[in-house]
Structure 1
Amino acid sequence: MENVSLVPDKTATNVRALHWAGFAGVAVLVLVTSGIPLPAVAVVTLGVAGMGTLVLTWLGIGRHAAELPVRRLYGIAASWCLPLLAARPLFSGDVHSYLAQGVIAAKGFDAYLLGPAAALGADSPVTQQVSHYWQDTPAPYGPAFVTLSRTIAHLAGENLLATVLLHRLVEVAGVVLLAWALPRLARRVGVSPSVALWLALLNPLVLWHVVGGVHNDGLMVGLMVAGVELVLMGASRAGAARPALIAAGVVVVGVAANVKIVAVAALCFVGVDLFRRARPAGRIAVVLGLPAVFAATTVAISAGSGLGFGWIRALAGVSGQVHSWLAPTNELGFLVGGLGKLGGLDLTDSAIKVFSAIGAILGLLAGARLLWLTYREKLHPLLGAGLAFAAMLVFGPVVQPWYLLWTIALLAVSLTTDRARWILAGVSSVFALLLPPAGGVAALVLGYLFAAVLLVGTLLLLRKKRVALAEKQLQTLVADYPPLLVRSGAGRDEQR
C-alpha cells in the first residue's frame, strides 16, 4: 500500500525548505555551466557550491524519507530534474561519442569496426566534438543503443543541440522506468518505497550523470529494474499470466543488456531464484527458457537492426583502452608503475594488465559466491545482484561515478538496515562531488576550496539563525506564561 500517511507540520516545513534549497543548487550549477562569461575559478566555485547544496539537501531529506508519500518524492525528483533538461552536457562529453556512433551507423559504416576519425574523418565537426581518447575507438555499446543513436542521427543529423536533447529524453525515459519499478521492488523485500525512491531516484548521481550528463547507464538501469520487476511479478502469479510476465521481463532485461551488457547479471540472480523455487519439472523450463528468451531477444535486435554481432568483439577490445583512475585495480597498477619509475622501469601498463586479470578472477569468484548464497536463500536475489554489481566496480578495469547507479538501484530496494543505507548514501555523496564542472588545475584547487568555505560558512550562519530563533521562542514562552512559572516555583517551595 502506498505511503499516504500525514506528514507532521514541522517535517513538512523542513522538507519544503530542503526541496527548494536543492532546486536552487541545481539551478546555480546549470547557470554557471551555461556558457556565460565567468572565470574558471568562479565556475568551479559556484558549480561545486551548487552541487554541494544539492547533496546536503538530499541527505537532509533522507532523514524524513520514510515519512514522506511516494508522490511527494516524485514531485521533488521532477523539480530537481527540470533545470537539467536545459543544461549543457555535464561532467563528460560521452554524448558526443553517442552522436558520432549514430552518424557512423546512419551513413552505413560499421560502428563496431571504425571509430569517428576513421569513419567520418579527423576534420569532421562531429569527430572534433569527441574526446581525443575515443576518436579512434569503435562503439562499446550494444546494438539496442546504437540503433537508438542511429535513429536520432537520422532525425537530427549532425545538429548538436537537437542530438543532446533527444538523447537526454531517452535517458529521462530510463529515469521514469526507474521511478516505476523502485517502489514495487522495495515492497517485495519489505523496504519502505519512499526510502528506496529517496536513495536511488533522488540520488545526485542520477541528476548529474543521467539527466545532466546524458549517460546511457540511465536507460540501461531503468530497463533492467523494470524487467526484473516484471519477472518477479510473473513469479508471484499463477496461470497463463505467469510465463507471459516472466518472458516479458526477460525481454526487457535483454534490451537493457543490449544497451550495456552488464545488465545480464541481474537476470542471473532472478533466474537462480526462479530455479530454486520451481518444482523439479519447472526447473528445466527455467534453465532452458530464460537463456532462450534472452538469446532470441539479442539475436532479434542484432539481426533486425542490421548492425550484426560485431558489438560482441568490440566489447572485449574497447574496455581496457583507457586506464580509469577510479578503478582500484588500475590504482594498484599506477602505484607499481610509480615505484618502477623510481628505478628507471616502465611497469605501469604491465602492472595494470596483471592487476586487471587478478581483478577479473576475483570478480568471477565473488559473483559465483553471491549466486550460491542466493540459491541457498542467504541473500535476496535483488541484494545478491546489487552486491554483484558492487563487486564489478571493486574488481573491474573501468569505474566511473555513474557506474555506481548499477548497484545503487538494486541495493536501494534490498538493504534493510538504516546503517547500510546511510553508508551507500555517503558513498554516493562522495562520488557526486568527484567530477568538477570545469577544468584547469589551479581553478580546481581554488574552486573546491572556495566552495567548501562558502558551504561551511552558510551552514554556520543558518545554524546561528536557528539558535537565535529558538532563544527568541523561549523568551516569548517565558513572557507569555509567568503565572505558570510562579505557581511551579511556589509548589516546589512548599514541597521543600
Structure 2
Amino acid sequence: MLTPLSPPAYRLLGGMGATLLAVAGCGAGALPVQDGLWWTALRHLDRPALLLGYAGLTLLTVAWWMAGRDLRRAGPEGAARPDLRSTAITLVCWAGPLLLAPPMFSRDAYSYLAQGAMVLADLDVYQLGVAHLGGRLAAEVPQMWQQTPAPYGPVFLWLAAGVSALTGGHLALGVLALRLVALAGVALLVVNLPRLARHCGVDPAAALWLGVLNPLVPLHLVAGAHNEAVMLGLLVVGLRLALADRFGAAAVLVTLAALVKVPALLGLLVVGSLAVRRIGVSAAVARTAGFAMLTGAAVTWVTGIGYGWIGALATPAYRHSWSISTALGRGARRAAEAFGLDLGTAPMRTSVAVGLLGVLAVAVAAWWYRHRLGPVYAVSLVLLAVALLGPATRPWYALWGLVLLAAAAPDGRPRRVAALGAALLGFVALPSGFGPDAEQALLATAGVLVGLCTIGVLRLLAPPPLALAVPR
C-alpha cells in the first residue's frame, strides 16, 4: 500500500530538485558571454552540470506530480489540499533556489534588459533590433535576434526600462529585478486564480495545483523571468472582475495584460460575452471596447513608447522562430531538396498557413460550444491552440492557456492531458536555451534516470510518514 506524501515531504523533494537545478545553471544555464558572473568555476563543467540539472528537474516534476496525486486522494477538507498560504510556501520552496541562479531555458531576460535600455536611449524598439544599442547588454542577445524588433507591448517595455534604469545595466541585478517583477505577476495568480476557479465551478485547490504549482511556473516564469508572468497575472485578475460583473475594470486590466503581450487580448472576448448577458449587446460592446481603447491610448501617452507595437506583431513569425508548423515546413523543404526540388519559401508558408487554419478551427469549435464550455474555458483552448500551432512556440507559451484551463476546465481528461503536457514540456528546453546535440540529449536522459533512481532510494530510506511513492 502506497503511503501518502505529506506537504513537507513534497516541498523538500521539489526544493532539492530546484536547488540542484540552480547549481547546474551555473555551468549549463544561459550564462552571460562577457561577464564573469555566477560560479565561474562551473562554466567548464557544462556537461556534468547538464546531467545534474535534469536530475533536479526530475525531482521537481515528480514532487509536483505526487502532490497532485495526494490532492486527488484527499477529501474536500484534506490536509494535502493547497490553499493560498500553502501554495505560497510551496512556491518559495520550489522557486526560491532559482532566484539567484543564472537565466535558464532561454536568453530572453537579456533581451528584456537590452530593449529596456533602448527605450531609455530613445531608440525605436519596434523598428530596430538590439544591435543598434550595442554594448554589453546587446552582446548577450543571440545573433539571430540582433536585428529583430521587440514584439512586446508598451506596458512591459516601460517595466523593462524601469529595471534597466534602476540596475544601470548590471546583468545580475537586472536579472534579479526582472525575476521580482515576474514574482509580482505570479503573486497575482496565487491570489486570484482560486477566486476565478470558484466563479467557474472548479475546485480552487485543483486550480492552484495545475495553474500555479506546475513546473513551468518556477522553471520559466521565475528562472526564465518571462513576461508571461505579468501578462497572466493581469489577465486572471481582469477575468475574475468580469465574472463579478465589474466589466469596466475588467476591460482595463485585460487590456493592460495585452499591452504586455498581445495574446491576452483574447480575454476581451470573455469580458464582452459576460457583459452581453448582463447589460445587452450594445452596452457591452460600448463598455468593453471603450475602456479598452481608452486604456490603450492612455498607456501609450504615459509611456511615450508609441503605437509601433501594432506593426511589430509579426515579429513572432520571424524566419528563425520554431513551432510545430514551422518544423513541418523545414522538414518539407529538406525533403524536397533531397529530391532535387527547390520550392523556395513555399513549404514554410504552407505549413504556417495550415497551423493558422488549425487555430481557426479550434476557435470556431470553441465558439460553437461556448455555452457548454463557458467563456473562460473556451478562450483557454484557443490560447493553447495559438501557443502550439502558431508560427512560434516555446514551452512557456503553453501557460497562456494552461492557467485559464486550470481555473475553468471540469475534472476529467482535459485536465489530465494538460497536466501530462505540463510535465513533459518542462523537459523540452535545455537550461542554456539552445537546442541539444546528441551528447547533450544523452546526458539529459541520463540525468532523468539519475533523478528517478534518487527518488527510489529516498522512498526506501525515508520513514513511513514521509515515504515517497511514485504515482500510479
TM-score norm. by structure 2 comes to 0.88
The answer on 1:360 being equivalent to 2:371 is no
Separation in 1 of the partners of 2:425 and 2:344?
Answer: 25
Residue equivalent to 2:321: 324
1:27-46 per-residue CA deviation (whole Å, 9 max, x = no partner) reads 01101222342522211110
Asked if structure 2 preserves the Cα contact closer than 8 Å seen for 1:133 and 1:322, the reply is no
Asked if structure 1 preserves the Cα contact closer than 8 Å seen for 2:144 and 2:320, the reply is no
Aligned AA for 1:27?
T
Residue 421 of structure 1 deviates from its aligned partner by 1.7
Aligned AA for 2:63?
T
Asked if structure 1 preserves the Cα contact closer than 8 Å seen for 2:363 and 2:382, the reply is yes
Query: Quick check: which has more Rg, 1 or 2?
Result: 1
The answer on 1:92 being equivalent to 2:131 is no
1:367-406 per-residue CA deviation (whole Å, 9 max, x = no partner) reads 24323432xx121111101111122123311110000110
Residue equivalent to 2:122: 108
The answer on 1:291 being equivalent to 2:289 is yes
The answer on 1:62 being equivalent to 2:56 is no
Q: Which runs of 5+ in 1 are unaligned?
A: 1-9, 236-244, 471-496
Classify 1:134/1:146 alpha carbon distance in 2 versus 1 (closer, same or farther; 3 Å).
same
Separation in 2 of the partners of 1:25 and 1:347?
Answer: 47
Residue equivalent to 1:137: 148
Secondary structure of residue in 2 paired with 1:101? helix
Residue 451 of structure 1 deviates from its aligned partner by 1.2
Residue equivalent to 2:217: 206
Residue 163 of structure 1 deviates from its aligned partner by 1.2
Residue 185 of structure 1 deviates from its aligned partner by 1.0
Where does 1:107-126 land on structure 2 (aligned, <5 Å)?
Answer: 107-117=121-131, 119-121=132-134, 124-126=135-137
1:69-121 per-residue CA deviation (whole Å, 9 max, x = no partner) reads 4022221122212111111111111011111111111011111111111x223
Residue 422 of structure 1 deviates from its aligned partner by 1.9
Separation in 2 of the partners of 1:162 and 1:347?
Answer: 48
Asked if structure 1 preserves the Cα contact closer than 8 Å seen for 2:55 and 2:449, the reply is no
1:72 aligned residue (86, 91, 95): 86
Classify 1:76/1:333 alpha carbon distance in 2 versus 1 (closer, same or farther; 3 Å).
same
1:410 aligned residue (385, 404, 421): 404
Separation in 2 of the partners of 1:142 and 1:351?
Answer: 31
Where does 1:298-337 land on structure 2 (aligned, <5 Å)?
Answer: 298-316=296-314, 318-325=315-322, 327-337=323-333
Secondary structure of residue in 2 paired with 1:63? helix
1:201-222 per-residue CA deviation (whole Å, 9 max, x = no partner) reads 1110010001000110111111
1:291-341 per-residue CA deviation (whole Å, 9 max, x = no partner) reads 11111111111122111111111112x12114433x221122122112112
TM-score norm. by structure 1 comes to 0.84
Separation in 1 of the partners of 2:186 and 2:464?
Answer: 40
The answer on 1:83 being equivalent to 2:77 is no
- Mean Cα displacement is larger for which, 455-464 or 89-98? 455-464
Aligned AA for 2:348?
I
Asked if structure 2 preserves the Cα contact closer than 8 Å seen for 1:269 and 1:385, the reply is yes
1:11-56 per-residue CA deviation (whole Å, 9 max, x = no partner) reads 4x53321210110000011012223425222111100000011001
Classify 1:331/1:74 alpha carbon distance in 2 versus 1 (closer, same or farther; 3 Å).
same
Asked if structure 1 preserves the Cα contact closer than 8 Å seen for 2:329 and 2:351, the reply is yes
Classify 1:442/1:369 alpha carbon distance in 2 versus 1 (closer, same or farther; 3 Å).
closer
Residue equivalent to 1:153: 164
- Mean Cα displacement is larger for which, 360-369 or 257-266? 360-369
- Mean Cα displacement is larger for which, 413-422 or 32-41? 32-41
Aligned AA for 2:261?
K
Separation in 2 of the partners of 1:270 and 1:251?
Answer: 10
Aligned AA for 2:378?
G
Greater RCO structure (CA 8 Å; 6+ sep) = 2
Asked if structure 2 preserves the Cα contact closer than 8 Å seen for 1:254 and 1:264, the reply is yes
Residue 465 of structure 1 deviates from its aligned partner by 5.6
Residue equivalent to 1:278: 278
The answer on 1:23 being equivalent to 2:15 is yes
Separation in 2 of the partners of 1:459 and 1:23?
Answer: 13
1:177 aligned residue (171, 174, 188): 188
Separation in 2 of the partners of 1:463 and 1:158?
Answer: 46
Separation in 2 of the partners of 1:44 and 1:250?
Answer: 44
1:39 aligned residue (9, 20, 45): 45
Residue 231 of structure 1 deviates from its aligned partner by 1.4
